[in-house]
Amino acid sequence: MKKVPFDLFGDGQYMYFNIARLMQLEQACGEGISTIVSRNELNLNVLTKIS
């Protein structure tokens, strides 16, 4: 499992992903997970794709 910091709703929160879910997110967003996380742009569009 991959643990990604996600402080959108409060400090110290995380989202958890396995490899298959990370691959789905990359395909849905058209970018690598490192780009998505480094930009810290987990907006509603991205959240909808990963839920």
Host domain of residue 36: 2-50
Which residues are CB-neighbours of 7 under 8 A, at least 6 positions away? 13
Tell me, what DSSP letter sits at residue 10?
S
Read off the pTM: 0.51
Q: What is the pLDDT of residue 42?
A: 67
Inter-CA distances, 24 with 9, 10, 11, 44, Å: 23, 26, 26, 16
- The alpha-carbon radius of gyration of the chain (Å, integer) is 10
Place of tokens 């991205």: 46
| Domain total of the chain | 1
**What are 1-51's pLDDT values in tens digits?**
667 787 777 788 887 778 888 888 888 888 888 887 787 666 777 777 666
